[in-house]
Structure 1
Amino acid sequence: MSFPKKGKFFPDRNGCPIDEPLAQGSFASEIAAALHRALGSTHAAVKTAAGWTGANERTVKNWFSGRYGPSGEHLVALAHHSDEIMHTFLKMAGRQDLIVAVKLAVAEDAIADLLLAVRSMNGGRT
């Protein structure tokens, strides 16, 4: 089975088919890069992102290719499951200060867990 002559690519805003990913630095390409960093480039990665968002696999493949970016609802679901997506979004929004705050909270949790482990090894003594 082959693709129909006019059905292989999604049209751009002007109605012409797109067969090149969007320019570097655009929303779609930044999210695509974050998806690849977070999940890799396998079919399993596409299935994982589709499972997280409830989006169709073809739609998710377009996100991975940088052809289109996720809608707001899907972006929220991706950010819920992936720190990489969240950090990319915050960076694009110019909110690097929040990235630092998130990393600090993660570090505080790790230190608290480590202290609990050390205390349990020492029989509860500090």
Structure 2
Amino acid sequence: MFPNSGSRFPDGGRLTEADYIGAVSDALRTELGTGTGAAKQIQRWTEASDRTARNWLNGVVGPSGHHLVRLARESDAVLSAVLTMAARPELALATDLHAVEVALAKASGAFEVLRRQRTAGR
């Protein structure tokens, strides 16, 4: 029989179900807030019921299987939490780089609009 090594947090501690539920709940609340709109967004992303979405948001239970994958697909915060729990935070860098690229593209577009307005006003 193989020894039970279990999942581990990056600090070397064991990953418990409570830790998992808390990490996903914190990620969802950080990204979406705690209002009714947050639960509705989770429902749209996962096709889960309102009660289930609220339970995930409030840390009562955590999503499993395909629901977790669907959340990670839509939420950078959930994806980052999953990668951190898997002791793979370096993989979260790709999502951070994408966010920077998007922000730079938006800023560049806004700068171009302002430049054109300034040129047209002369």
TM-score by length of 1: 0.65
Sort the Cα spacing of 1:63 and 1:118 in 2 relative to 1 into closer, same or farther, 3 A: closer
Percent identity of equivalent pairs: 36
Moved over 2 A (4+): 104-122
Structure 1 unaligned runs (5+)? 1-22
Task: Compare the two structures and name the one with the higher helix fraction.
Answer: 2
Give a deviation string over 1:31-78, Cα, whole Å, max 9, x none.
111111111111111111011100011111111121110012111111
TM-score by length of 2: 0.67
Q: How many matched pairs?
A: 101
Could you tell me whether the CA contact under 8 Å between 2:30 and 2:77 is conserved in 1?
Answer: yes
Point out which structure has higher relative CO (alpha carbons under 8 A, 6+ apart): 2
Structure 2 unaligned runs (5+)? 1-15, 117-122
Q: Does 1:62 align with 2:55?
A: yes
Q: Which residue of 1 aligns with 2:77?
A: 84
Could you tell me whether the CA contact under 8 Å between 2:46 and 2:67 is conserved in 1?
Answer: yes
Separation in 1, partners of 2:63, 2:71: 9
Could you tell me whether the CA contact under 8 Å between 1:36 and 1:64 is conserved in 2?
Answer: yes
Q: Does 1:51 align with 2:34?
A: no
Query: Which letter maps to 1:56?
Result: S
Partner secondary structure for residue 60 of structure 2: coil
Partner secondary structure for residue 97 of structure 1: helix
Separation in 1, partners of 2:91, 2:42: 24
Q: Does 1:36 align with 2:23?
A: no
Q: Which residue of 1 aligns with 2:96?
A: 103
